[in-house]
């Protein structure tokens, strides 16, 4: 595998690896003792968070905006049509990725709020 291809794949691998305790899988830090229902409460809150998907209708819109923005910027800066397709693909990936990250953060908030509403002192 060439270095260029590897340098494009490595960030994606790192991002996927960093998502193990995020989104609906988030396990909040609780201050104080946890009762015997903690694991069941956590599982229910995580299931609630999973109802909001990481990829949704907004993700497609963000990808389209990213593609248009990157292709337009490339056309303006280079004043040519060379590599507009690659710029559009890169912009689409950035837009979709940003939307997915936002949705993952929303899932974490859902888990935190759900656990707080069940009486846990969630601090992080």
45 HSE (CA, 13 A, CB side): 27
Residue 29 makes CB contacts below 8 A (sequence gap 6+) with 122, 123, 124
Task: State how far the Cα of 60 lies from the Cα of 56, in Å rounded to an integer.
Answer: 7
**What is the pLDDT of the chain when averaged over all its residues?**
74
Give pLDDT, residue 38: 95
**How many Cβ atoms from other residues are within 10 Å of residue 95's Cβ?**
22
* Cα–chain center distance at 1: 28
Give pLDDT, residue 55: 59
CB 82 within 8 A of CB 56: no
| Residue 35 burial (C-beta neighbours within 10 Å; 0-12, 13-18, 19+) | exposed
77-98 pLDDT tens trace: 666 566 667 766 777 666 667 7
Task: State how far the Cα of 64 lies from the Cα of 66, in Å rounded to an integer.
Answer: 5
Task: State how far the Cα of 97 lies from the Cα of 59, in Å rounded to an integer.
Answer: 8
Q: What is the pTM of this model?
A: 0.62
What residues does 122 pair with on adjacent strands? Answer: 30
């Amino acid at each position: 595998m060439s270095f260029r291809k590897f340098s494009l794949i490595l960030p994606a691998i790192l991002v996927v690896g960093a998502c193990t305790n995020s989104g609906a899988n988030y396990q909040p830090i609780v201050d104080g003792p946890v009762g015997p229902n903690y694991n069941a409460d956590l599982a229910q809150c995580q299931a609630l968070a999973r109802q909001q998907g990481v990829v949704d209708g907004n993700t497609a819109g963000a990808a389209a905006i990213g593609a248009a923005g990157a292709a337009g910027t490339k056309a303006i800066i280079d004043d040519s049509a060379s590599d507009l397709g690659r710029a559009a693909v890169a912009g689409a990936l950035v837009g979709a990725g940003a939307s997915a990250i936002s949705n993952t953060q929303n899932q974490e908030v859902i888990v935190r709020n759900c656990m707080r509403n069940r009486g846990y002192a969630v601090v992080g």
